Each structure stands twice: as structure tokens, then as C-alpha cells.
Amino acid sequence: MSLETAAALLRGAARAVALTGAGVSTESGLPDFRSPGGLWAGVDPMRVASLAAFRRDPAGFYAFYQERLSRLGGARPNPAHRVLADLERVGRLRAVITQNVDGLHQAAGSRRVLELHGTLRRAACPDCGERADIAAFTDALAAERMPRCSVCAGPLKPDVVLFGEVLSLEIFAEADALCREADLLLVVGSSLTVRPAAELPQAVLDHGGRLVIVNREPTPYDGDASAVIRDNAGRAVPALAALAAGGPRGAAEEEQHG
């Protein structure tokens, strides 16, 4: 029933927006954060992914991001990324707001992607704001040198928002505005536990917009959602889009209803 409810909402939406988290990329081989075996299982994010850690223990910080970047090399968009790009192309989705830093939505063809937490595909200097190709970071580490900013010689980091850093207010304002206009927010693969991203669904609900959540685990917004699809994104999102387009039932749909 949830899939059909979600499909009807998607079919009828005029200003739908997607909000994605790490769960949309696990079927591309990238771990999420809070699932068993996720990145924060056994690693204190404050020790490896905070601005303080970057300043205090750059070696530990670099090791953590080298590992993340090495996984990124082989990651490809999965059907969930591709279908979200298709939905934008046919005018059913205005944008993808993502907490992810893997660039897989853009690789799948999504054009309007708001990266709330930055991107691993670029390097940045926290001292002077200079942006650089991520190779400036990875090549230095491969040569066992400290990645340095070419402008101010400050320590370079991936252009991701670390714990303790403020995210881009301009990008968040654009995401917030999209949610305040949205008649439907399609959440895919997020625990909806990290603010301010986790405030966006409320911005949709506050003006009567509807929520559809595709997530393996419960989220704090499940009770407010018009439909919750407890399934893998790589299967549920294509099934949802097919149903919304009036197409054949997707695999998930067949399984649910036989």
C-alpha cells in the first residue's frame, strides 16, 4: 500500500524535491554512517571528521579521508541515483538536496543537486577558502607530503563540512526555500538525525506538504510521513517511479502485492 500511496503522491506532485542521505549510496558500495558496520561504527566522528581533529591530528584525519576517497574511485551510481535523475529530467522532481559528498547524483545525471555537506570531489583550504582539485589532496598524501594550499600554504582538506564547521548558508537557504514550496519531499536513505538537514522535512510539513520516506530503518519523521517504504532504495525508487508513471509494477511492488 505504501508504494501505491507514494506513487500517487509523486504522480500528483507539482513541486516535488528529494532529500537523500548515505543510504542512497550503500548499493553503490559506499558505507553509510549509522547502520551496523557504518562509518561511525567503532570510529568517533569527532576524532576523524571534525575541524578540531583536522587541526589537532591531521594524520588521523588524512587516514580516514584517504580511505573514504579510495572507496569513491570505484563507486558508480545505482538505480536509485539514476531514477532520481530521470525524475528531474521528466519534470517530476525539481532538485535533489543531498547530505552525501560522493558526487553520485551528478554522475547519474541529476542537474540541480544541493550538496549540504560539501563534496569529496574537491579540496578546500579552511584558512583562505581556496578551492582545488581533489588531486591536490590525494597526490600529496600519496607522496607522503602534507596537502598544502597553493595560495596560503595552509593545510588542505576535502571540501566537506566537518563537525564544528558551518555549512554553506547559501546552499542551505536554497534547500530550505525549495522545501517551503514543496508539495512533496521524497526522503531516500537518511536517518534524518543530523541538523540542519533534519529540519528540512518539517519545513515541508509546516505548510501542508507531504512526506514520503524510503529507508531501511525507522526515522524520527516516520509518524509524519504519508508513506514509509521500508526497502532498499535501489529497488524501491525505480518501483515508485514506474508506478508513478503508470508503468508496470516494480519488483518491490510485485513482492508486496504478488
**Angstrom distance (rounded) from CA 56 to CA 41:** 22
Nearer to ligand APR by Cβ, of 155 and 234: the residue is: 234
Nearer to ligand APR by Cβ, of 140 and 168: the residue is: 168
According to the binding rule CB under 6 A, does residue 38 interact with ligand APR? yes
Q: Which does 217 bind (CB under 5 to 8 A by kind): Zn ion, ligand APR, none?
A: ligand APR
Q: Which one from 81, 117, 207, 257 is the annotated catalytic residue?
A: 117
As measured in angstroms, the least distance from the Cβ of 46 to ligand APR is 11
Nearer to ligand APR by Cβ, of 85 and 213: the residue is: 213
According to the binding rule CB under 6 A, does residue 119 interact with ligand APR? no
As measured in angstroms, the least distance from the Cβ of 235 to ligand APR is 8
Please answer whether residues 106 and 113 qualify as being in contact, where contact means their C-beta atoms are separated by less than 8 angstroms.
yes
**Angstrom distance (rounded) from CA 152 to CA 155:** 9
According to the binding rule CB under 6 A, does residue 176 interact with ligand APR? no
Binding segment (CB under 5 A) for Zn ion, from list 62-70, 141-149, 164-172, 196-204: 141-149
Q: Which does 96 bind (CB under 5 to 8 A by kind): Zn ion, ligand APR, none?
A: none
Binding segment (CB under 6 A) for ligand APR, from list 3-11, 59-67, 68-76, 184-192: 184-192
Considering only 23, 147, 209, 238, the residue that binds ligand APR (CB under 6 A) is 23
Please answer whether residues 50 and 65 qualify as being in contact, where contact means their C-beta atoms are separated by less than 8 angstroms.
no
| 81 flagged as catalytic | no
According to the binding rule CB under 6 A, does residue 217 interact with ligand APR? yes
164: left (phi over 0), alpha (psi -120 to 50) or beta: left
Nearer to Zn ion by Cβ, of 54 and 172: the residue is: 54
According to the binding rule CB under 5 A, does residue 127 interact with Zn ion? yes
Considering only 4, 11, 15, 34, the residue that binds ligand APR (CB under 6 A) is 34
Catalytic residues: 117
